Amino acid sequence: MRSLTPPEPLRLNARRSSRYGSIYWNLGWSHDGRSIAFKARNRDTGNDELAVADFDSRDGLKVLYTTTGNINADFTFSPDNSQVLFAMHSPEHKAPRLFVCEVEEPGAPRLLEGQPSDLRIFDCAWSSDDVITFAGQQLPVPTEWTGNGGTTR
């Protein structure tokens, strides 16, 4: 990845990118256009990482969260660029939910409040005027199987 904005492009290569075996699709640009959030597979551990490449930072790369679990590869920044919003599996809900990570204080993702409880939420966007949209799917509702009394093959 690199910035085409002068004066000097930031390249995630050599020392920075050697940490990753692969970088997933759907990079998420910050609203100020100075950072991108992405999912990558750590070459040494095999874990997935949520990272931010910051074009104004000397190091250029910050890992926000590392997991062996499932992070969806679709990221969006808060209007002030202080948080990254994304979907991942929630063991508590037994479905994907939206989570937030702080950019300046990386750590465990925090579940976004107010999400519909009857949906799997896969992807999202957070607009500069603070509107969050997402793609979701209705959770299956278990129904009792009564059978028809016949035989099955």
Tell me the per-residue pLDDT of 106-139, one tens digit each, with 9 for 90 and over: 889 999 999 988 888 988 999 999 999 998 888 7
pTM higher than 0.85, yes or no?
no
CA–CA–CA angle 58, 56, 34 (5° rounding): 145
Query: How far are the Cα atoms of 13, 37, 50 from residue 60, in angstroms, in the given order?
Result: 11, 12, 14
> Strands, DSSP E only, in 68-146?
76-77, 83-90, 95-102, 110-111, 119-126, 132-138
Cα gap 127→67, rounded to integer Å: 27
List 94's β-bridge partners, or say none. Answer: none
pLDDT band of 12, cuts 50, 70, 90: low
Cα gap 113→58, rounded to integer Å: 34
Are the C-beta atoms of 63 and 51 separated by less than 8 Å?
Answer: yes
pLDDT tens digits, 38-68: 999 999 999 999 999 988 777 778 999 999 8
